[in-house]
Structure 1
Amino acid sequence: MTAVFNQIMQEIKNTETIIIHRHVRPDPDAYGSQLGLKQYLKLKFPNKNVYAVGEAEPSLDFIGTFDDINDEQYENALVIVCDTANSPRISDARYASGNKLVKIDHHPAVDQYGDINYVNDHASSTSEIIFDFIVHFNDLSIIDASVARVLYLGIVGDTGRFLFNNTTAHTMQVASQLLEFPFNHNEELNRMGEKDPKLLPFQGYVLQHFDLNDKGFCKVKITKDVLEQFDIASNEASLFVNTIADIKGLKIWVFAVDEETEIRCRIRSKGIVINDVASDFGGGGHPNASGVSVKDWEHFEILAETLNNKL
């Protein structure tokens, strides 16, 4: 697969403008891989135009910011999409407006939408892949703390602080090398875990309103009136998907939030493959962490019953 790295780098060398995208509803790995790649390329090719685009997630603003570019800048540009399994989830539809499209991802390869596709579903995160990309070209010596910091946060995010089973020996080796750069990882992890005090009553609601059965399946339903009751946005509610993760006997859970036009369902499990169910309902993701949207609460109950049947 390193031959694909060489292909990607050749396209980068041949292009003056590189525009980096990632998925909607970004998480730390989306931020980390996208911004880490941008900073690395700016250091390696200081005369090139390198941009990172997409809508911001306020809770992750501390990681970094994005560029506002016009449509004309896509002409003859190389577009690289990080951490995005399928094309409908790419943030900013202009991704298709460039001269060539590259996909770099660690989700199962369902939609190979790029002209060049690098997918390693054994990697903990796309941030880990970007690190491997840098190392492949012997460029560790040219990156700095700005690159190491965001890649580290991306890896921490997608491994659940190294608690998830996607954490490998290689993941820990990568994290160790990134920690050699001068950034305060304790401070950064504290910022990643911080929540606005106004959200904590909602966390209490979640802990009092989960529906757990004796097989180890649990569902949490956050309806529109609950969001209004706690004056909380749907993206803020999603921060609490793992609030119930420590329940003894829990095996699969689904955290569903009413986003007005759809019910967004985040599915998690402990060692049980659930992305096949997500795929059957039009979503996708990792074996133990996936997502899907359904059109109403009736369809949510069908999804919940399907997940329950996994047990």
Structure 2
Amino acid sequence: MKRQIIDKIEQYDTIIIHRHVRPDPDAYGSQFGLKRLLEANYPDKTIYAVGEPDPSLAFLETPQVIQDEVYADSLIFVTDTANTDRIDDTRYNTGSFLIKIDHHPNDDAYGDLLWVDTSASSCSELIYELFLEGQEYKNWKLSDASARLLFAGIVGDTGRFLYPSATVKTFEIAGQLIKYNFDRNELFNGMYEKEANLLHLQGYIYENFKLDENGACYIKLTREILEKFQVTASDTSLLVGSLSDVKGIKAWVIFVEESNQIRVRLRSKGPIINGLAKKYHGGGHPLASGATVYSWEEADRAIEDLKEVCRTFNFIQ
């Protein structure tokens, strides 16, 4: 599969890389890590990374804006995106050939060529594996810029290597990446430093979360609360792991109200929650998923479903 991808890369002069909406470090890491990898090995090719920019990830890279005609006769990649509804920029299907690289469950098998490996900690880990194949097959090299981005993606999706998704292979890859020339402290500062108002909101979360006897936990962040703390809905992505240290917690959900919908951020220490996410217009990993609801009544139903998931998990254990 990896060699098929490399063969396709060599056939095209223009390559455009997409990722999912509401990006996280792995979305940027895999997208831009692939871009920098290809630029280092194919300097004569024109390579773009597109999508709406996320200010919180500007320390990593900035997406490009390109015209529709650039897509003609181009090779398109989509990284770290399970289904077509979540692809940022709908022009992904207007190129000549489409390749999907992902580590989420393959519920939406889009693309002309698919490489999906759910055992990988992150899509950035897969891009590093593609580099290794290219190194053996075509004498590829990995640039410092690409190594930095792939390391950021792996760190982000493994929760700084705390999540079960971090395997022996993940640590081995991380060990190889830190040999490259980039400032890890500066990178970690960009990923984890928070503005004071965001820390104040984090304090609000600690004071107001609800936890039931089965380990199901939730917090509702209304627009009024976001305005009070002068925080955007996107900013709250930095707080999704805040509740992980609560003793007795099994799974939690953070609801974040936007203008016409409510984001649902689900995390778990054991119970499988991606089925619940699918029920509420989303999806993701077994222990880390996202969804969307359209009223607080629907949010309350999702809370009851999460309680049932945790109750059943306790019974099985």
1:52-100 CA-partner distances (Å, limit 9, x unpaired): 0011111111011111111110001111000000001000111111011
Judge conservation of contact 2:131–2:141 (CA < 8 Å) in 1. Answer: no
- 1:231-310 aligned at under 5 Å gives the runs 231-310=230-309
In structure 1, C-alpha distance between the alignment counterparts of 2:260 and 2:175, rounded to whole Å: 43
Are the counterparts in 1 of residues 78 and 101 from structure 2 also a CA contact under 8 Å? yes
RMSD over aligned Cα, in angstroms? 1.1
Say whether the 8 Å CA contact 2:134–2:140 is kept in structure 1: no
| Alignment match of 1:13 (pick from 1, 10, 16) | 10
CA displacement, residues 220-255 of structure 1 (integer Å, 9 cap, x when unaligned): 100111112112111112321111110001101000
Cα deviation digits, residues 168-194 of structure 1 (max 9, x gap): 000000000001111121221122111
How far apart are the structure 2 equivalents of 1:159 and 1:63? 18
Equivalence for 2:156: 157
Partner Cα distance (2:124, 2:82) in 1: 14
SS in 1 for 2:218: strand
Listed as ranges, the gaps of 5+ residues in structure 2 are: 312-317
* The structure with more helix, counted as a fraction of residues: 2
- Alpha-carbon distance in structure 1 between the residues aligned to 2:189 and 2:254: 24
**What is the aligned length?**
308
Alignment map for 1:1-311 (pairs within 5 Å): 4-138=1-135, 142-310=141-309, 311=311
Q: State the one-letter code of the partner of 2:291.
A: V
Work out the CA distance in 2 between the residues paired with 1:176 and 1:141.
19
8 Å CA contact 1:238, 1:257 repeated in 2: no
Contact 2:131 2:140 in 1 (8 A): no
CA distance in 2, matches of 1:189, 1:141: 28
One-letter code of the match for 1:104? I
Distance in 2 separating the partners of 1:237 and 1:184: 26
For 1:273, the aligned partner's letter is: I
CA–CA distance in 2 between the matches of 1:161 and 1:238? 15
Equivalent position SS for 1:232: coil
Using the alignment, how far apart are the partners of 1:276 and 1:200 within structure 2?
A: 31
Query: Contact conserved, 1:148 with 1:178, CA < 8 A, in 2?
Result: yes
> Structure 1 stretches of 5 or more lacking a match?
none
Q: Read off the aligned partner of 1:250 and give its amino acid letter.
A: I
Any runs of at least 4 consecutive aligned residues in structure 1 with deviations exceeding 2 A, and if so which? none
Q: Distance in 1 between matches of 2:292 and 2:104?
A: 18
Alpha-carbon deviation of 1:137?
Answer: 1.7
Distance in 2 separating the partners of 1:191 and 1:25: 17
Secondary structure of 1:245's aligned partner = helix
User: Quick one: distance in 1 between partners of 2:8 and 2:233?
Assistant: 39
The secondary structure found in structure 2 opposite 1:137 is helix
Check conservation: 1:224, 1:258, Cα contact below 8 A: yes
Give the C-alpha shift of residue 141 in structure 1. 6.1
